[in-house]
Amino acid sequence: MSNGQRKQERDFTPEVTALLPEVDQLAKDGQLQAALDKIGVLEKQTRNAADLPSTSTLLVKAVALCYSAGNLDLLNYQLQSLSHKHGQLKEATVRMVDQAMTYLPELKASSAKSSSGKTRWLDLVETLRDITEGKIYLELQRARLTKLLASHHEELSLTAPETAPTGTQAVASTSTGLTTTDKDKAKPAPLTAKDHRDAAADLMSDIQVETYSSMDKREKTDFILEQMRLESQRGLWPRVRVGGRKINRAFLKEKENTDLKLRYYELMIQLALHEDAYLDACKAYQEVWDTEEVKKDEAKSQEAIECIISFIILSPYDNEQSDMLHKLYANQELQKVPTYYELLKSFVTKELMRWPGIEQSYAPILKQSMVFAPLAPGERGEDYGMKRWKALHDRVIEHNIRVIASYYTQITMTRLTDLLDLPADQAEATLCKLVSDKTVHAKIDRPTGIVNFTPKKGADELLNEWSGDLGRMLNLIEKTGHLINKEYAIHAARSATA
């Protein structure tokens, strides 16, 4: 057959139907092994005859009897044994694994009451992961099991010590109840909170769900977002960026996927801010603000607008930034936050902004926002608020230089420093940066202390200008000749009349 399954040779439905009540009774009478032996005899016949429905029923019944009897060791053994039978039907194995996975929530709940329950849950998870390893037809089940195990490691990280206790390395492999595969035997068992977070991230990163055809789009997107979140926690931002490219943004715009959209752009904002990519952060906040759920919440909507305006003015000047700046200024909805809108207007208007005035007018409000808030006394870490406040100062200076370059052809360094409210060396350094970025054209004559904003003209431009000037001069000569001839004619007419 095209799917690789053998053709069914015989239907064992009557035999299976007759056997089920019998094995149920044996299990109730405490003869679980006898019941499993009877199932095993008939399962071999159904498997050899390629009777998929009957084989699936028997495999599911075998694991159900083991779980009902509370014999989890036998359950793990039966799962391993039945899945490795020669010529075992793939779909039957899938149904058996699906049945075993339904027991995990109950075992997880019981693990909270006793430590032995946690061990049982872990044993079953590892057994199922061992069965699903390397099998394409069980890729969906393996991904779900891996996500459960990663979540378990995250839970352990909340109670694990920050540093490894001395003398615990030798017993680490049994302290958590985790078993290891051959591939992971060389890795030390996780002990600290960081170890558990790394273990969770490593487990999730091994699963490439973007290639799974059996997983629906929503579950696939949720899985990739979990991968990105775990990688962001340990600071591997290049992996976060790669994960972001795997997600279809058009799918996130669907109304039923709002929660996934907000999770995705929250991670994109963290990535952008980590790299100081303020323009990307602005775009991400625009997507967040464009969500119906956020617009309905007045506080969230206002916070999103504040971040949009803050990050667009913090972005270095280029064509894209300038275009977005003017589009945002034209959006009347941004006037809901008047202080930020007025600051935005200052960057759109071709007028000088004096930094002392900006600092006096906007600092009390801006420094209360999440973008510019400085570290509180006693807090540790990089002061991102002060770093962005300095970036705002730089953007104001750069705006002022562009305005000056548009109005002046030449200006003295003394006058330039007065207009920028900067020392001479800092003003010169900022001007040189804008020149190297090709934002403005300027040359500094240090002996005379004059800045020339007139760009040097090329040969073609000079020839075109000379040609234009020559054409205008000839037109003026011709017009003057016409006027002189007109005066001569008028004078001759008057003389004749006299």
pTM above 0.85, yes or no: no
Domain coordinates of the chain in residue numbers? 1-132, 463-498
Cβ proximity of 453 and 442 under 8 Å:
yes
Q: What is the DSSP letter of 410?
A: E
Report strand pairing: 410-412 vs 450-452: antiparallel
Query: Could you tell me the maximum CA-CA distance found in the chain, to the nearest angstrom?
Result: 149
Residues lower than pLDDT 70 in the chain: 1-5, 111-117, 165-187, 378
pLDDT (0 to 100) of residue 112: 63
Strand partners, 411: 451
Q: Are 422 and 356 in contact (CB under 8 A)?
A: no
What one-letter code names the amino acid at 121? W
Per residue in 208-231, pLDDT (tens digit) is: 998 888 899 999 999 999 999 999
DSSP symbols for 371-400: TTPPPPTT--S--HHHHHHHHHHHHHHHHH
Our measurement of the distance from residue 91's CA atom to the centroid of its chain's CA atoms, rounded to an integer in Å, reads 36
pLDDT digits (tens, 9 = 90+) for 172-219: 443 344 444 444 445 677 778 888 899 999 999 999 998 888 899 999
Q: What is the pLDDT of residue 166?
A: 65
Residue among 189, 141, 147, 199 at smallest CA distance from 169: 189
* Cα angle, residue 168 at apex, residues 164 and 170 outer, rounded to 5°: 130
Question: How far apart are alpha carbons 31 and 38 in whole angstroms?
Answer: 11
Burial of 244 from C-beta contacts in 10 A (0-12 / 13-18 / 19+): middle
Q: Identify the helix (H) or strand (E) that includes residue 228.
A: helix 217-233
Give pLDDT, residue 183: 47
